[in-house]
Amino acid sequence: MGGTKMLAMVYDNRFHALGSARQKSKGAEGAKAGFQRIVETIRAALKDAKIAPSQLAGIGIAVPGPVNPAKGVVVEMPNLGWHNFRLREMLSGVFRCRVSVLNDVDAGTYGEYRFGAGKGGHCVLGVFPGTGIGGGCVYKGDLLQGATRSCMEIGHIRIQPDGPRCGCGGRGCLEALASRLAISAAASAAAYRGSAPTLLKETGTSLKDVRSGALATSIKAGDTAIVALVHDASRWLGIAIGSVVNLLNPDIVVLGGGLVTALPNVFLKGVREACDETVMKSFRKTYKIAVATLGDEATCQGAAAWAMKAGVSG
């Protein structure tokens, strides 16, 4: 489940996909309506897989917001109108199986650790820039989580004390400087000023239309103002990642999300340069930065694999 869509996948015990279903998000519809659509999407995926609900060994579900993983509670998804929702209890009541609840970036990071770009890592840091910027960390096979909350909120590391206002209410957070939303807002302004003609032709000045693909098209066409914006954002991201490298010394950093997928070369160059400048000299060349390989399925595969590890099928 993500901020703009739901994807349900059915796997066998070797993680071969048997069926799937998708639904688009309807925005801040509230927890009750959102939960019903989750149930509908799971049922549709089971139907596609020709699997009866009674055959389910367990459910792993990932949501875009902080969770209490021990209790299976969604602490909040403010963009969707959810607060302190007992998702595990509700889902297990419908499907009569055990349920594991994760933050979506934790799930995506775990998926890349098990099956993708982070496979075999000792310490894997996942960073997924999108509308916000989420982080996750797998250390020696386990997700790094707090006692009562999912953690690794790298998007809310303060980079500029007096910087732009963030959606969390703080100022100068990484998210306010380097998320796709932040880049898109600055890009819309550039288009309005006439310094990004290709973007202006593609999207006008509508912020909602300035998505990753439009930014990529603009850069490819030579809109230098957009190249500069993305480069600046990638450097802010690299500084934040470098700070986390100094704390955790991950051997693999996985970058994912639509922005990275659409702009891998421009984005990676800035991130790598800024990260190397930020880390201690003795930490240089101890880690690699890689692009996620699993796409949309990273979150589903990670949630399913974590559910199995956590014993929902035991």
| Mean pLDDT score across all residues of the chain | 92
Above 50 in pLDDT, residue 314?
no
pLDDT digits (tens, 9 = 90+) for 94-127: 999 999 999 999 999 999 999 999 999 999 999 9
Quick one: CA dihedral 258, 132, 152, 6, positive or negative? negative
What's the CA gap between 271 and 254, in Å, rounded? 12
The CA R_g of the chain, rounded to the nearest whole Å, is 20
Helix, strand, coil percent values for the chain (each to nearest 5): 45, 20, 30
Cβ neighbours, 10 Å, residue 269:
14
Above 60 in pLDDT, residue 2?
no
Six-digit token pair at 219? Answer: 């850069």
pLDDT digits (tens, 9 = 90+) for 21-51: 998 766 667 788 899 999 999 999 999 999 9
Model pLDDT, residue 313: 43
What's the CA gap between 243 and 305, in Å, rounded? 29
Domains of the chain: 5-109 (3.30.420.40), 118-291 (3.30.420.40)
Above 90 in pLDDT, residue 312?
no
